[in-house]
Structure 1
Amino acid sequence: MAVSLLVCSLAAAQTTEQLPGFDLERLETNVGRGTLLVGNGELMVPGGLHVSLLGHYQRLPLVLNDGEGDLQVVRNRATALLSAGYGLLPWLEVSAQLPFVLWQQGDDPSLLGLGALAAQGLGTPVLQARLGLLSRRQRHPVDLSADFGVGLPVGNGTALAGDDGPRFHVRMTVGTSLGMVAPSLEAGVLFRPTILLATSDGSAKQGANSEIRLGAALATTGKGLRGELGLRATLSPQVAMDVLGGVRFPLPAGLDASLMAGPGLGGALGAPRFRVLAGVSFHDEPPPKLSFIDENADRELQLALATPDRPPEDERVRPVSTWELNALSRGDSGTAAPQGPQEPLRPYQPTPQERVVLRGVIPFTKGSAELQAVVPLLDQAVLQMSELPRGGTVIIEGHADTEGTDASDMFMSLRRAQAVRRYLVNQGVPATQVRIRGFGAEWPVSAKPATEEERQLNRRAEVIVLTEAVPTSATTQTPTP
């Protein structure tokens, strides 16, 4: 299709005076995680795939003045954009975009001494690599990425869809999640050939130049209908700005549909009066690669967790015993609390008849028991539980920093464990196979945290997926009569 459009466009251009070739489009869309206009700095996991097909309508993207009035060279323009992204490594994601001009029409540009435009044509293909610099998955405060891209000079200039030479862009994107909303910002530079449009009165109108591009977006989080608001601005040297708002909603089979519209501001070429974007996208990301822990190494780890070095001055009087709170969390009833001091609850130690197939830690923010929007570890646990042939059990152990009193720390650790349990049960894990325990601040990773990073390690929920160990050898015994 692309080759056919390109050949037809070039054949039509041979009969007229060719316009200086440049790409009229100033709006770039995002491939991968984030909103339709602006990314959020987060990369797809290795093996993740994102494919989208987007339709784009513009009103009055190119208006020139012939000395007597405005000439609407491009009054209406419809384009299509096919894009795909793939996660190669935890810190590397690659993507490609291929645009097409499907239809455009306007006044006759020969009144300005310019050749006629082609109605269709191939746009500028863009290849891009996205590098992850910071990630909230690694307990960084934000997601930060850097994009490096190149635009190939094969677009059709007579359709105002391609520059005369290659173009390059560098862009930084940062994003985070604040409860129900996810803000993101980006800033970059586009390097492209400089093009001037000569008019019949001898003046020159700048058609293309290197640009500074800025963007901001705000999106709601969740799995259902989501709202998006984006702003894109270019400085080159005239200012052009697009403000678009819309929605994104899920479809069956891993598809999403999106619709955005909004006005364009500024007098730069390529800034339309308004735009409308609509399309569908397919997004699929596997859970992180499973790693099976050696049983001997796992027992040594359990012993190390069970006997941490605790400073003597950290011993405090607890108004509520750990045993009583965890008995309530398991739903024990009808039995009287035993008299006398109870054995302190320790982190779970698998028996020789159990095998640990998955272990991980989920961090929490201070004073919060809410999970982040994306928790790959729990999706991996759900997948593993569904594939265990011998059945399995999930142990969830909640922990807290010294955020308050002993009782409040204990309840916070239980709330965190319950939040993880609720997520697993909602994803189909039987409730009878999930056990939770709360430790308060009794088993910190860092006994004397001196930095915020160390305190974050103590605000956690540990997830352990266990299954019955496969016997190394099987013997058959004949019962005695």
Structure 2
Amino acid sequence: MRTYRKMSTMSRHLPLSLLALSLLATSALAQSRLPAFELQRLQFDPGALGSLVVGTGRTLDQGVLRTSIQFQYEQQPLAFDDRWDPQTAQALVEGKFTAHLTAAYGALSWLQVGAQLPFILGQSGTRRMDMLPPTSGGLDMPWVGARAGLLSMKNGMPVNLSLDMTAGLPVGTAEALAKEDLNLFPRLQVGTRTEWFQVGAEAGYLLRKKLDLSSFTGRPQDVVGNELRLAATVTGVGGKKTRGELSVLVGLPQQGGRTSVEALLAIRRHAKPWLDLWVLGGPGIGTAMDTPAFRVIAGASISSAKID
């Protein structure tokens, strides 16, 4: 009799248990993360000859080594808004802290090699459209590259001109939106310098695997893919210790998506001939999902010789 009662009780509770498990499974399926891609848009110029983020057609002198570390904060680097509003309260990634290590070396009088290693220290956000925020941190996608100087004002040419090839390596933390397949980023960089200022511009084409996120967000413009990237900078060189620089970065998607624009202002201090300190920051403009509302960066570099 007792056995019969136990079986009867279990049979009554079994449907409720199955229902609870079904609800949990449905909830887990409804809350998913985006597929992996590289969220970070900004790359630093490891040589920093003129600008911190835009090439000016120059390469480091042979035998010169420059290393740097910078700490970056981004506000809303991943948001799905239909209008530009830096004060939006919620986003899939609302705040992101990243440390960037860079190094560049003048291998030859016309050849510079460099690398960048970013690490996400922390990021957080709010679940949107049944999507969970990425994990809080981990290794970000590293980049390696080489720059060949084609023309140099040191040799009597009217401008500095270089060809830069950078590759994003397919390692990183996928759950933190910090990894994707191999990326290639060829760029042509040009610049000139006077007694008081230096100007530079670059045009590049970022080659990456296309990833259509519209099935997750319900918005046809949420696409990651190849991108034409244009940038320009003007840098003061008249000051002996402190100088300013203004850079504008533009990303023009080629496989869907929306245009990205950022304006970054920097103050750079030559504390020692071998030591530079700086702060850099500015707004992102537009409604591209991976353009931050603004970013702020502080950094320092050490070099084996005075660079600028």
Q: TM-score, normalised by structure 1?
A: 0.53
- What is the CA deviation profile of residues 143-162 of structure 1, one whole-angstrom value per residue up to 9, with x for unaligned ones? 11110111111121211112
Task: State the distance in 2 between where 1:196 and 1:100 align.
Answer: 26
Give the aligned residue type for 2:77. P
Structure number with higher helix proportion: 1
**Residue pairs, 1:220-231, within 5 angstroms:** 220-221=236-237, 222-231=239-248
Q: Paired residue for 1:144, among 161, 186, 198? A: 161
Rate the CA distance shift 1:107–1:193 in 2: closer, same or farther, 3 A: same
Rate the CA distance shift 1:200–1:91 in 2: closer, same or farther, 3 A: closer
Task: State the distance in 2 between where 1:88 and 1:108 align.
Answer: 47
Deviation at 1:57, TM superposition (A): 0.9
Aligned CA RMSD, in angstroms, stands at 2.3
Corresponding residue of 1:178: 194
For the pair 1:56 / 2:76, whether they are aligned, the reply is no
Task: State the distance in 2 between where 1:231 and 1:63 align.
Answer: 21
Corresponding residue of 1:81: 100
Paired residue total: 268
Runs of 5+ consecutive residues of structure 2 not aligned to the other structure = 1-30, 83-87
For the pair 1:212 / 2:228, whether they are aligned, the reply is yes
Deviation at 1:65, TM superposition (A): 5.8
**Residue pairs, 1:321-360, within 5 angstroms:** none
Runs of 5+ consecutive residues of structure 1 not aligned to the other structure = 1-15, 287-372, 375-481
State the SS of the aligned residue for 1:89.
coil
- What is the CA deviation profile of residues 413-433 of structure 1, one whole-angstrom value per residue up to 9, with x for unaligned ones? xxxxxxxxxxxxxxxxxxxxx
Task: State the distance in 2 between where 1:105 and 1:202 align.
Answer: 22
Give the aligned residue type for 2:141. T
Rate the CA distance shift 1:97–1:212 in 2: closer, same or farther, 3 A: same
Q: Paired residue for 2:60, among 44, 48, 51? A: 44
State the SS of the aligned residue for 1:158.
helix
Give the aligned residue type for 2:241. G
Corresponding residue of 1:388: none
Deviation at 1:203, TM superposition (A): 5.2
**Residue pairs, 1:99-248, within 5 angstroms:** 99-109=118-128, 112-163=129-180, 165-198=181-214, 206-221=222-237, 222-236=239-253, 237-248=257-268
Structure number with higher strand proportion: 2
Give the aligned residue type for 1:81. H
Contact map agreement 1:170 1:190 (CA 8 A) in 2: yes
For the pair 1:250 / 2:270, whether they are aligned, the reply is yes
Question: Which one scores higher on RCO, CA 8 angstroms, separation ≥ 6?
Answer: 2
Rate the CA distance shift 1:262–1:116 in 2: closer, same or farther, 3 A: closer
**Residue pairs, 1:315-464, within 5 angstroms:** none
Task: State the distance in 1 between where 2:61 and 2:100 align.
Answer: 24
Corresponding residue of 1:278: 298
- What is the CA deviation profile of residues 42-85 of structure 1, one whole-angstrom value per residue up to 9, with x for unaligned ones? 1111111110101111111111269xx99511111111110000
Contact map agreement 1:150 1:166 (CA 8 A) in 2: yes
Task: State the distance in 2 between where 1:205 and 1:232 align.
Answer: 20
Task: State the distance in 2 between where 1:43 and 1:65 align.
Answer: 40
Deviation at 1:186, TM superposition (A): 0.7
For the pair 1:21 / 2:41, whether they are aligned, the reply is no
For the pair 1:30 / 2:50, whether they are aligned, the reply is no
Deviation at 1:253, TM superposition (A): 6.5
Contact map agreement 1:98 1:125 (CA 8 A) in 2: yes
Task: State the distance in 2 between where 1:251 and 1:150 align.
Answer: 32
Deviation at 1:127, TM superposition (A): 0.6
| Largest Rg, 1 or 2 | 1
Q: Paired residue for 1:98, among 108, 117, 124? A: 117
Q: TM-score, normalised by structure 2?
A: 0.81
Which region of structure 1 is more displaced relative to structure 2, 151-160 or 245-254?
245-254
Deviation at 1:269, TM superposition (A): 1.9
Task: State the distance in 2 between where 1:271 and 1:108 align.
Answer: 18
